[in-house]
Amino acid sequence: MPTILSISGSPSPTSRTARLLRSLDSRLTVQGHQVIPLDIRTLPAEALLHADFGHPEIVRATELVARADGVVIGTPVYKAAYSGLLKALLDLLPQFALEGKTVLPLATGGSTAHVLAIDYGLRPVLASMGPAHITPGWFVLDQHIEVGKDGA
Ligand SMILES: Cc1cc2nc3c(=O)[nH]c(=O)nc-3n(C[C@H](O)[C@H](O)[C@H](O)COP(=O)(O)O)c2cc1C
């Protein structure tokens, strides 16, 4: 069974990006994939900010990426680009962490003005990590995503 790692790069506890990802996860599961969600915001902040490559939770996240056949990478658009939280994790992964994998980049944003943030910002970063294929990005306006107070 193909394994998909579904990564959210939003720091928000009531994240629309995470809500969108979990909806996608359900669809992928129904289609026969094993989906593993990873919210970067649950990783230890100090390890992320101090580049603690050896922290057990960073090592585990790195292993989850290594084991995945496909990776969905979701980010909110912040200041016309992907989130700093996402970059903090990507910077801790090996240079070719996405080698041989298919990657779906996904973004949520408040305005279509920054709909290209995936292509001018995120895609080059992902491409540098050696994926076999990066699918066309998927951008969703925040007003089209409903999130409850518990984030679900
Ligand atoms: C600090 C901050 C900066 C933002 N900057 C942008 C932006 O430059 N362009 C845009 O379209 N939306 C921007 N937004 C709106 C978010 O991208 C949008 O609400 C997104 O769905 C939030 O996702 P989240 O709930 O997962 O954090 C910004 C929101 C925040 C909090």
Residue 30 pLDDT exceeds 80: yes
117 with 84: CB under 8 angstroms? Answer: no
Report CA(151)–ligand 1 centroid distance (Å): 16
| Residue ranges of domains in the chain | 3-144
**In this predicted model, what pLDDT tens digit does every residue of 44-84 receive, in sequence order?**
999 999 999 999 999 999 999 999 999 999 999 999 999 99
Residue 86 pLDDT exceeds 80: yes
Q: Specify the ligand 1 atom closest to the Cα of 115.
A: 11
**In this predicted model, what pLDDT tens digit does every residue of 106-147 receive, in sequence order?**
999 999 999 999 999 999 999 999 999 999 999 999 999 988
CATH architecture assigned to 3-144: 3-Layer(aba) Sandwich (3.40)
Q: Specify the ligand 1 atom closest to the Cα of 74.
A: 26
Q: Coil, helix or strand for 59?
A: helix
